[in-house]
């Protein structure tokens, strides 16, 4: 039975939330989906728990992601693969390979820059030939970061003209919620399984970008949040490196597409025939640079102290094995998660300030808000809407989605994702011009 969406890792903690979200979606009658599991019994039990009728409308497929033939057979019968089975460095390659070779569309929750870089190296070129769309980092890592800059770019160009270029872009994260067991499992994999030289390469500026941009600002221990009165300060943010790599890949993919648009689009499918004027507004410009922090305190000293201590902790964790072993004992296990009550009490509030290059004192202020634990409740809904956008909104997707490749949320989904997340009330977006200390007209 062919379906629109295949959910792999469906019986994991986040996978169960994704399945529930899809089963209870307000437009449930517009799409079909199946569960990809390692245990059919657990898959059938999950259907009962989330209230899916036992009428064959949601098939349960036995899929071991380590067995390529099994993965390929399952992928062949779907349009979109939603992969919630991590850590992706260990278990993701077969799934991406099958999607690439079969020309399918794929989304995952990978915040693993090392995995993303490997997928770019192995499959990006082939995906542009088969039309496969491979979109990583489709959850809290890294949709807010990527879409914040995408929206800021649109706001500045709408206000100042399509030739406007971006300068410094800073995101500040204020969240309530925990890191998922899957995220922690990815951290364990990075420390214990990924070669040190690969990790080192992935920490470099523009590690995922096909174009080397303006060097990023040196990471500060404390940075004042623009326009904050009284001053608020940002501190080191644990996801800054992986999120920045995705934002920089968006920058690079758009720059490359604009530069080679005539060649690329001449070989693309008919629906991808976008003109240079349509592509140019997607670019950020050569002065663009990006950084992000955690919204922390009104005290610069407190923010600096936290950043220094966090850096020392990670240095010890990576270099002193007993420290790592102690730390690992307290990590949530993959498949574990908080109570429903705790997930509902969480939230995210992301504020991005992006300056217009060459226009002193002019910024776009973009705010992204969501209710619910970012790593669980929001992430499960966000990736589900990413998959639904690829399945149902093909005609409205950005040019990259009709060319193929290993993409990012902004390059594959863009405005379509913003509209979907707002329509279901999951995430709210606001973007406006600020000049000096005065907030000007809103531009959505």
Residue 100, in any domain of the structure: yes
Mean pLDDT of 312-329: 87
What is the pTM assigned to this prediction?
0.94
Query: Domain ends where: 135, 162, 191?
Result: 135
Residue 431, in any domain of the structure: yes
Going by pLDDT thresholds of 50, 70 and 90, the confidence category of residue 439 is very low
| Cα–Cα distance for residue pair 353/226, rounded to 1 Å | 7
Question: Is the pLDDT at 381 greater than 60, yes or no?
Answer: yes
Predicted confidence at residue 275, as pLDDT, reads: 46
Mean pLDDT of 95-124: 98
Residue 17 sits in the same domain as residue 75 = yes
Predicted confidence at residue 330, as pLDDT, reads: 79
Q: In this predicted model, what pLDDT tens digit does every residue of 219-245 receive, in sequence order?
A: 999 999 999 999 999 999 999 999 999
Structural domain count, the chain: 2
| Cα–Cα distance for residue pair 367/358, rounded to 1 Å | 23
| Cα–Cα distance for residue pair 232/299, rounded to 1 Å | 7
Residue 151 sits in the same domain as residue 120 = no
Residue 392, in any domain of the structure: no
Over its C-alpha atoms, the chain yields an Rg (Å, rounded) of: 21
Question: Is the pLDDT at 264 greater than 70, yes or no?
Answer: no
Predicted confidence at residue 437, as pLDDT, reads: 55
Q: 130 and 96 in contact (C-beta within 8 Å)?
A: no
Residue 315 sits in the same domain as residue 363 = yes
Mean pLDDT of 51-70: 95
Going by pLDDT thresholds of 50, 70 and 90, the confidence category of residue 182 is confident
The tokens for 254 are 């758009």
Lowest-pLDDT range of 64-78, 147-161, 179-193: 179-193
Q: How far is CA 239 from CA 74, 100, 395, in A?
A: 33, 28, 33
Query: Domain ends where: 68, 102, 135?
Result: 135
Phi, psi for residue 427 in degrees, rounded to 5: -135, 145
Residue 400, in any domain of the structure: no
Residue 276, in any domain of the structure: yes
Q: Which domain holds residue 70?
A: 3-135
* Strand 289-297 versus strand 405-407 pairing type: unpaired
Percent of the chain clearing pLDDT 90 (strictly above): 82
Mean pLDDT of 305-325: 90
The DSSP-derived string for 199-212 is HHHHTSTTSS-SS-
Predicted confidence at residue 107, as pLDDT, reads: 99
Query: Domain ends where: 75, 106, 135?
Result: 135
Mean pLDDT of 28-38: 97
Predicted confidence at residue 441, as pLDDT, reads: 36
Phi, psi for residue 320 in degrees, rounded to 5: -115, 100
């Amino acid at each position: 039975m062919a379906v629109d969406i295949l959910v792999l890792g469906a019986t994991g903690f986040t996978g169960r939330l994704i399945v529930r979200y899809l089963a209870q979606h307000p437009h449930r009658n517009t799409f079909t989906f199946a569960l990809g599991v390692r245990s059919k019994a657990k898959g059938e039990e999950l259907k009962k728990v989330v209230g899916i009728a036992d009428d064959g409308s949601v098939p349960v497929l036995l899929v071991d992601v380590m067995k390529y033939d099994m993965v390929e057979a399952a992928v062949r019968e779907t349009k979109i693969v939603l992969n919630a089975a991590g850590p992706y460095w260990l278990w993701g390659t077969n799934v991406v390979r099958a999607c690439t070779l079969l020309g399918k569309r794929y989304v995952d929750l990978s915040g693993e820059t090392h995995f993303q870089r490997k997928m770019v190296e192995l499959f990006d070129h082939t995906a542009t030939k088969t039309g496969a769309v491979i979109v990583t980092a489709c959850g809290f890592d890294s949709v807010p970061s990527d879409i914040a800059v995408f929206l800021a770019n649109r706001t500045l160009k709408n206000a100042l003209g399509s030739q406007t270029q971006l300068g410094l872009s800073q995101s500040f994260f204020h969240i309530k919620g925990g890191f998922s067991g899957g995220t922690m499992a990815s951290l364990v994999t990075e420390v214990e399984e990924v070669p040190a030289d690969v990790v080192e390469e992935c920490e470099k500026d523009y590690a995922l970008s096909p174009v080397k941009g303006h060097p990023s600002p040196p990471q500060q221990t404390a940075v004042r949040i623009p326009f904050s009165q009284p001053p608020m300060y940002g501190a080191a943010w644990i996801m800054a490196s992986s999120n920045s790599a995705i934002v920089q890949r968006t920058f690079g993919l758009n720059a490359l597409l604009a530069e080679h648009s005539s060649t690329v689009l001449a070989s693309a499918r008919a629906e991808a025939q976008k003109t240079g004027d349509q592509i140019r507004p997607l670019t950020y410009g050569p002065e663009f640079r990006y950084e992000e922090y955690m919204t922390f305190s009104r005290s610069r000293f407190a923010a600096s102290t936290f950043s220094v201590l966090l850096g020392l902790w990670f240095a010890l964790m990576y270099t002193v094995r007993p420290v790592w072993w102690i730390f690992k004992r307290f990590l949530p296990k993959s498949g574990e998660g908080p109570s429903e009550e705790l997930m509902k009490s969480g939230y995210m509030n992301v504020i991005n300030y992006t300056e217009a290059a060459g226009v002193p004192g002019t910024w776009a202020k973009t705010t992204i808000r969501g209710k619910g634990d970012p790593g669980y409740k929001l992430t499960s809904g966000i990736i589900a809407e990413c998959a639904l956008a690829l399945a149902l909104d093909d005609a409205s997707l950005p040019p990259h989605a009709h060319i193929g490749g290993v993409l990012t949320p902004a390059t594959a989904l863009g405005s379509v994702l913003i509209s979907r997340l707002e329509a279901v009330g999951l995430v709210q977006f606001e973007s406006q011009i600020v000049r000096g200390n005065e907030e000007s007209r809103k531009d959505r």
